[in-house]
Structures are given as C-alpha cells and as structure tokens.
Structure 1
Amino acid sequence: MNVSDESSSELGMEDALKADDADVGQKLNSQSNRLWLKPLLLGTGLGFAIAIGGVGAFKHNTNSPQKAVANNPVSSAKPAMTVTIAAVEPASIAQKLNTTGTVAASDLIPVLPQSNGLQIRQIPENIKEGAFVKKGQVLAVLDDSILQTQIIQAKADVQSKQADVESKQADVASKLATVSANQAIVKQRQADLAQAKARLEEAQKNFQRYQQLAASGAISQQELDTRSFTVKTATEAVRVAEENVRSAQANVGSSQANISIAEANVNKAQADVRSSAAKVGQLQTQLGQTLVLAPVSGIIAEKLARVGDVTGIPPQTQVGNVIGGTQKLFSIIRDRKLELQAKVPEIQLSLVKVGATVEVSSDMNRLVKLEGRVREIEPMVNDQRREAIVKIDLPATNLLKPGMFARAAITTNNAMGMTVPQKAVQPQPDGSVVVFMLSGEDIVRAQKVELGEPINGNRVEIKSGLKIGDRVVVRGAGYLKDGDKVLISPEG
C-alpha cells in the first residue's frame, strides 16, 4: 500500500469514527431524560474520543517513515529468481542383492475325479490351460442326466420362499420406518414441552416482578391479574405438552411391538428357505458325483482330460499323472499365486532373510515392476553350483507366467544415507548430475553429485557430493546457473 492509499484509508477511518460520534450525540439528546443512562453514554463517548485521538497519532507516526522510504529509492538489485530450498536429509536406505530366477506356481493343486470308471462327456470350451477358474466351477461333466429336473424344481421352490422372505423383510422395514417416525414425534413433543416449560418459567418470573411493582403501587391490580392469568395459561400448556409426550412414547412402544411380530414372520420364512435349500444341497451332492469341480480358485496350469476318456483309466501317455490310483485331470495354480525361485550363491545366502522385500523385473517386459517378499529359503545348497533356491512370493499379475525368467533385487539390510527431493536433481548434457547449493544467503553454486536409489517416489539417494544439512534449490532449479543470485521463498 502506498502513502496516498494509507491516507485515504485513514481519512475513511476518521469519517467512520465521526459518524459513530454523531450517532452517540443523537442518542444522548434523545435519552437525556433517562438519568441512569448518562454514565454509560458518557463512557462510550470518552472511548470514541480516545479512538479518534489514537488514529490521529497513528497517522502522524506512519506518514513520516513512509515519506522517508519514498524519498530513498531502493539501491539493491532484485534477485534473479524466487526459489524454494530443502536441506539434505538423512534416511534409511535399503541395500540390494541382485540375482535371477524362474517363475513357478507357488501352490499347484491336482484335480481328481470323485468316481472312477465314468466317461467324460463334456468339458466347457473356456476350460483350457491359462484360463482362470473360480472355486466350485465345473471343469468336466461325467454324467449330468439323472438329477437335473429335480434340482431345477427344488431351486424354483427356494426362489419362491426367498421372495416370501423379501416380502416379510419389506414389512419389517415399513414398521421400522413407523418407529422412526414415532420417535421423531416424541422428540418434537419433548421440544414443545421444553418450550412450554421455558414460557412458564418466564411467566412466573414476570408475575413475581409485577407482584413487587403492585405492592409498591407502581402498577394496577388489573395488570397483576393479567400476569397471573399468563402463568395459569403457561402451566396448562406444560401439562398438555407432557401428555403429548406420553402419548407419542406410547405410540413408539406399540410400533416396536409390531416390529417384533414382523421379525418373527421373517425368521419363519427364512427357515422355510433353509429347508428348501437343504433339499437342493442334498440333490447337488448327488449330482456332484458326476461333476468335476475346481477345488480352489486359480489358473489352469495343466489340462490332461479329454472328452471320451474314462476316469481311472489314463491314456498311455499319462501314466505318470496317476495319483493314489486316480487319474489327474487338471492342475490349478491356487489363487494365481506365483513365486520366483531365485538362485543365491552360498556365500551371500546369509544376507537374505525371510520376509525381506524384493523388487522383481523382466528383461523381456519392461512393464514388470513388482514387489515380492521372501517366503522361504530352501535348506539344501546345490553341491555343484553352490547355490540355494530362495522362494519369493509374487503379487497376482498377468505379466508373468510359470517358466519365465525374471530378475530380483532382494533387500538385505538398511544403511543410513543422504536424500534430496527428486526435483532438486538436474541432469547435464555430459551425463553428469548437479544440484544447486545455497552458498551464503542468496547465491547458488552448481555441485556435481552421484545418485543412488529413488526413495518413496519423490526423493533420491545422494551417494557423494553433498553432506547432511546442505541446502539445495528445489523449485526453480532447472532455470539456474552457477553463481546466480536468488530470493528464497518462505513456501519451501
């Protein structure tokens, strides 16, 4: 704000104060016959007078230095750019052990038929290797012609009874709404009662005050009788409000009793549904002997069954797929869970801990950037390669499949290092990296640094070139050169 703006502001303030003073004068003239208000108004006028005097003194004191500033032009040059700064901070930085391995199924589940000697009549078209199946999904049909009609009828009965349940639940909801409405009425009646009591209390106080005035002869008996009647009216209003509250509360109790009856009807209808569903379950158990169902959710890794095969009699090429005398029809990767079986040299095995985080990537697919976790370290070390297998749990993904090659960076430990904001780092044409350090109060100089690992997405490790506590430019760093003068923004 310049001097003229401040003068205008101060004149406006004086006008406002004068207007307030004029209002006070008018109040004094209009109420001069009320002697008990004179001390109060006198104090008010004195306060305004003091305020006006303070404004005048403020104007006198502020004009002089402002004029002095106006007469003395700024001699220092403006800084080149406003920037934000940040200090080099210590941080715990993870150390990595780089290795490679093969993707494999974490838990491979075999699928066996429940009955042997039955021909496979159908395999759904979507049941193939690599397809995702849900637990209980039909993989193959051995014989589905016996119980289908009975199951359809039983399911229709379940749906009918379920509709009855929904109807009775709707009745419960309706009665709950009635309870809520009655409870709202109770609250409203209680509010009316509170208001009536407040009016009664006010009427009683007024009556007591008027009794004193009547005793001193200040008011007539008629006025006192009027106040007495007001008290009686307010008392009756309180009684009526209390009766309304009791009536509303009784309605709530009645509607809550109706809810209990409706809920009992729902319970009975649900029992009928359970009875019908039990019949369906019984029929489905019998039908289950003719269906091959997925025991878990996951990815089909192997499809060994073919239409026309007879369970328990595997083709000659599948003799090795017989488990416990029963032919394996499929194998499923449970819950899509994959693992990376990474190879770790014996001399580095002590660095790996169960539960350590692992960054997984692939040379064949740059989109693979996953975070796994060490689940198990196999106790046996290969006596020829002197390597052990470290099993790393992988998150669910469609980017990796069993048998693929992948890279792993296993976190071994944490060490203290230095970090700066990512925006402070400026790549150079010669391949080097610099940051701009604050030298003194407002000069920056370019400092080459050696970068480490990214930290939390917005910071980066500095291996050398800085020390803890150094101040570096963050916002605006891309527009600076060595030796520039800057203005530090308080936002940083």
Structure 2
Amino acid sequence: MSDESMPELRREENVADEQKAKQQTRPWLTPMFVGIGLGLVIALGGLGVLTQLPPRQQKAVADKVPPQANPVMTVTVAPVQATRVSRTFNTTGTIAARDLIPVLPQANGLQVKIIPEDIKEGTYVKKGQVLAILDDSMLQAQMSGARAEIESKQADVGSRQASMVSQEATVESYQAIVRQKKADLAQAKAKLEEAQKNYLRYRKLAIAGAISLQELDTRAYTVKTAVEVVRVAEENIRGAQANVLSAQANTGSAEANIYKAKADVRSSVAKAIQLQTQLKQTVVRAPISGIVAEKLARIGDVTGIPPQTQVGTVIGGTQKLFSIIRDGRLELQADVPEIQLPQVEIGAAVQISSDIDSRVQLQGRVREIQPLVNDKRREATVKIDLPLTNLLRPGMFARAAITTNSAIAMVVPQKAVQPQADGSAMIFTLSGDDLVRSQKIEVGEPINSELVEIKNGLQLGDRVIIDGAGYLKDGDRVRVSQ
C-alpha cells in the first residue's frame, strides 16, 4: 500500500468511528426509523392495491371510512338517579291568625287618654306592655273620698272603744257596790241573829219574873229593828245588782257599736281596694305577647260606648280596643274537596307559595281538619300551621301543596330538560364517550329548585347532558368536562 493511500484510509476509518459513536449515543433512533419505514411500506402497498381496483370500488371503499367529526362543544353530564318523591295535591286558602286574642277594657265609662305612638297594627308587643291609658281623674277623686272615710271610721272605732272602756269601769264599780252591800247584809244578819238570841234569853227571864216586861219589849224592838236592817240590806243588794246588769248591757251595746264601726272601716277599705284595682285597670296592658292585628281604640273614646263605626267590635257588651295574634303565629285555612279529604293526614307536610310574592316558599304542617263539610261547596277547611314569617298577613291568598304519600322515582337536574313547542319535553343523553342522542321524556313533579321527576323515557344510570344541552342536536359529538 502506497504512502498516498494511507491518509485516505485513515479518513474513512475516522468517519466510520464517528458514525459508530453516534449510533451508540442515540440507540432510540433505530426503532423509530424502523417504524417509519414499515409505515411507508404499508401505506404504499395499500395505495397500490387501491389503484389496482376499479374506480367504482375505490369510491365505495372511500365512503365506508367516514372522517372523524370534531366535538361541537364541552358539556357536563349527570346520571339519572333514584330518590324518594312526595306525592301532593294542590289547593288554595286564606291566611288567618292561629289564635286572635281580643283586648277589652276592664273599666267601662272611662275616656281613652293616651295611646303610645309605637302601638300600631303590625307591631310586635310583649306580655304586660302598655297599650293604652284611660283617664283616671274621677277614680282618683273617689279614692281620696274613700281614704277620708276610712280615717273617719277608724276614729269612730277609737271613740267607741273608749266608751266601752268607760262602761266596763262602771260595771266594775257597780260590782264593787254589790260586794259592799252583801257585806252590809251579812253584818245585818249577824246583828239580827244576836238580837233574836238576846230576846229569847230575856223572855225566859221575864217569865221567871227576873226582869220587867218593859225590858222584854225593848229586846223585841231591837229584833224588829235588826230584821228591817236585813231587809234594807237585801234591797240595796238587789239595786246594786240591777245597776251591774244595766252597766253590763251598756258595755254589750258599746261592744256592738265597736263591731259596727270596725265593719264600716272594713267596708271603706274594701271600697278603697276596689278603686285601687280600677285605677290599675286604667292602664290597658297586652295580655299576651304577639302582633297587634287590630287597633280599634282612639284617643277620646269612652270605654263601653263604642263609636258608631265600631258597633261590630263589641264582645259580651264590652268594646274591643285591640286584637293581638298570639306569638305572631299564622295558619293557612285551606279548602279541600271532600273527595280528597281521605288523603289528608294530621302532621302532613305542606308547601306554601304565593302568586304575588315569589319569596313565599314555606314549609307548613297540617294541624287540624275541621269536622264539618260545607254543604254547598262540598269542601272542608284544613288548618295548616305556618312558620314565623313577615311575608304573610291575615287575609292574604296562598297556595298549598299537601303531601299525601311518597315513592321512589327517577330524577334528573331541571336544567337538563328541554321543553318543546308542542308541550312535550326532551332530554339529551350521552351515548358512548362523546355521541349525543335526543330522547323524549315524560316529566313528573319538581322535587325542589334543582331536580325534577322523570316518569318515562329514561333508565337509571343514563347519563344526561346538563350544561350546554340547549345548543345541541341529535348526533352531535361533544367533549365531556371532567
């Protein structure tokens, strides 16, 4: 080998070494190149076969391979689910106070003097709050007279008690005289007894001739004198005892006068207490807590004498001043046809709504079913308790959906249902991964603001299109949002 060919050979060896090094540093290129080559061969072979077919067969093959459509839009889907659905029937009624309490004056014939400015219809008042104040000037005057009369009667009792003390002292004095007279009588009897003994002894002496008859007569006179003294003493005792009885009678009369005077005091006190009670009744207070439904009283009205415009507000002969809805509780008095009454149960849930106020979406409960059916309309009144709310007032009209029973039903979001011009409804379902299919359905009752019942047309587990359903048609392809 010549020297000229050596450099050329070395260059070729260097190039081969560089290519070998590149192949070692990029081993992943080999499979890629192999795959590309195989693809080209298959494609060219297919084109060759296709070119060998007649033109008519070439067109048929081309029609059997449709082009892949791009997704129309991105949508969200939800499965058809089963849930418990309440069956209801609809009726109407009037809002009324559940318990309307009249406020009557406890004192008649008094003028309404003050009504606080914050007492108005619709105002919430607490039990015991002042609703009105009546003029009490006449009662105050009567109260002053009653107090003066009590003081006078009490002074009379004191005077009569002093008189009785005096009478008791008189009785005691007469009793002392009786005791003294009895002592005098005892002394007189003792002297009489002694005189009689002396007379008997002197009589014996006179009979024996020891003394003269004149001496005996003296002793007989002494006996007569002693007998008279005893008689006078007994008379004195009887007189003194009579005085005692008279004084005791006067004492009893004085005691009776005291009892009468005390009774007069008690009567005056009772009258004063009654006036005091009437004075308290001049302040008209709320008997319960609740909302003022009616304000009938006006300043200047006289209680018990209703104005001509308030003749219908008299209850039991007494003018009604106010009426209060106890605790602000309202009820719906719904009219239910008699054929539907068997479906209504006490405690059943009721959905309350209003045609004029969309905010009224309340949940009530059946509290009472009136026993009488109107013989003209063939309806009964069903009373439905309402929750506390400021959206309703007595006398308003409202609608009620009364729950009768519940069952398991299929539900879908309301946004998935597409109303049609003929009154029917349609829904789009997702077939496969991206293909849209339209399906006619039969819609039942709305479950809430988001779900609606499907009676027919779907099966549990079907995927319905929600967002974007209004812009689709049957056969569209969509992309499902994850």
TM normalised by structure 2 equals 0.52
Deviations 1:149-180 (A, max 9, x none): xxxxxxxxxxxxxxxxxxxxxxxxxxxxxxxx
* Pairing partner for 2:334 from 337, 342, 355: 342
Unaligned runs of 5+ in 1: 1-58, 148-284
1:91 to 79, 83, 95: 83
Does structure 1 retain, via aligned residues, the 8 Å contact 2:364–2:384? Answer: yes
Pair 1:100–1:143, CA change in 2 (3 A):
same
Say whether residues 1:404 and 2:388 are aligned partners: no
Q: 1:471 to 1:309 in 2, by over 3 A?
A: same
In 2, the alpha carbon distance for the partners of 1:369 and 1:69 equals 68
2:104 is equivalent to residue 109 of structure 1? no
Change (3 A) 1:308 1:419: same
2:427 — aligned with what? 435
Moved more, 137-146 or 326-335: 137-146
Residue range with higher mean Cα deviation, 136-145 or 408-417: 136-145
Runs of 4+ in 1 over 6 A off after TM superposition: 59-73, 144-147
Matched, 1:119 2:114: no
State yes or no: 1:447 paired with 2:420.
no
Displacement of 1:482 in angstroms is 1.0
Opposite residue 436 of structure 1, the aligned amino acid is: F
Alignment partner, residue 450 of structure 2: 458
- For residues 408 and 62 of structure 1, do their structure 2 counterparts lie closer, same or farther at Cα, with a shift above 3 Å needed? farther
Report if the CA contact (8 A) 1:94-1:412 is conserved.
yes
By how many angstroms is 1:357 displaced? 2.0
DSSP 3-state at the match of 1:456: coil
Alpha-carbon distance change, 76 to 323 in structure 1, aligned in 2, over 3 angstroms: closer
SS in 2 for 1:121: strand
Q: What does the per-residue CA deviation read over 1:238-276, in whole Å, with 9 as the maximum and x for residues that have no partner?
A: xxxxxxxxxxxxxxxxxxxxxxxxxxxxxxxxxxxxxxx
The whole-number CA distance in structure 2 between the counterparts of 1:135 and 1:69 is 94
Deviations 1:309-343 (A, max 9, x none): 33345456656645566543211112322211111
Q: 1:417 aligned to 2:405?
A: no
The one of 287, 291, 300 aligned to 1:308:
300
Per the alignment, in what secondary structure is the counterpart of residue 389 of structure 1? strand
SS in 2 for 1:396: coil
Offset, 1:429: 5.6
Moved more, 374-383 or 305-314: 305-314
CA contact (8 A) 1:297 1:335 kept: yes
Query: Which residue in the other structure is 1:372 paired with?
Result: 364
Deviations 1:110-133 (A, max 9, x none): 112344443321123443434443
Counterpart in the other structure of 1:354: 346
Deviation by residue 1:378-436 (Cα, 9 ceiling, x = unmatched): 12222333221100122334443322332222111112221112232234566543221
Identity of aligned residues (%): 67
The answer (yes or no) to whether the contact 1:142–1:290 under 8 Å persists in 2 is yes
Whether contact under 8 Å (1:144, 1:291) holds in the other structure is no
Task: Kindly report which structure 2 residues correspond to 1:223-242, keeping only aligned pairs within 5 A, or say none.
Answer: none
Q: Is the 8 A contact 1:143 1:291 kept in 2?
A: no
SS at 1:349 equivalent: helix
CA distance in 2 between counterparts of 1:62 and 1:116 reads 112
CA distance in 1 between partners of 2:368 and 2:35 (Å)? 75
The 3 A distance-change label for structure 1 pair 143 and 63 is: farther
Q: SS where residue 470 of structure 2 aligns?
A: helix
Give yes or no for the alignment of 1:471 onto 2:463. yes
**Contact 2:110 2:136 (8 Å CA) reproduced:** no
| CA 1:385–1:480: 2 relative to 1, 3 Å | closer
User: Counterparts of 1:458 and 1:439 in 2: how far apart (Å)?
Assistant: 24
Report matched runs for 1:191-210 at 5 Å. none
Name the CA distance, whole Å, in 1 between partners of 2:310 and 2:477.
Answer: 79
CA contact (8 A) 1:106 1:337 kept: yes
Verify the 8 A CA contact 1:82 1:486 in the aligned structure 2.
yes
Instruction: Evaluate the alpha carbon distance shift between residue 484 and residue 308 of structure 1 in structure 2; reply closer, same or farther with a 3 A threshold.
Output: same
Q: In 2, distance between residues paired with 1:336 and 1:64?
A: 88
Distance in 2 of aligned mates of 1:125 and 1:414: 51
> What is the Cα-based RMSD across aligned positions, in Å?
3.9
CA distance in 1 between partners of 2:81 and 2:469 (Å): 18
Residues of 2 paired with 1:325 and 1:461: CA distance?
Answer: 58
- Inter-CA distance 364–421: structure 2 relative to 1 (3 Å threshold): closer
With structure 1 as the length reference, what TM-score do the two structures score? 0.51
* Paired residues, number: 295
Distance in structure 2 (CA, Å) of the matches to 1:127 and 1:286: 23
Evaluate the alpha carbon distance shift between residue 336 and residue 78 of structure 1 in structure 2; reply closer, same or farther with a 3 A threshold. Answer: same
Change (3 A) 1:306 1:423: closer
Residue identity opposite 1:306 in structure 2: R
Q: Separation in 1 of the partners of 2:388 and 2:322?
A: 21
Amino acid at match of 1:415: A
Task: Classify 1:113/1:62 alpha carbon distance in 2 versus 1 (closer, same or farther; 3 Å).
Answer: farther
The equivalent of 2:379 in structure 1 is: 387
Q: Which has the larger radius of gyration?
A: 2
2:321 to 326, 329, 333: 329
Shift of 1:361: 2.9
Compared with structure 1, are the counterparts of its residues 82 and 318 closer, same or farther at alpha carbon in structure 2 (3 Å cutoff)?
Answer: closer
One-letter amino acid of the structure 1 residue matched with residue 437 of structure 2: R
Secondary structure at 2:114's aligned position in 1? coil
Aligned to 2:129: 137
| In 1: Cα distance, 2:375 partner to 2:30 partner | 92
Pick closer, same or farther for the CA change 1:488–1:61 going to 2, 3 Å: farther
**Alpha-carbon contact 2:75-2:478 (below 8 Å) kept:** yes
Preserved CA contact (<8 Å) 2:73 2:478: yes
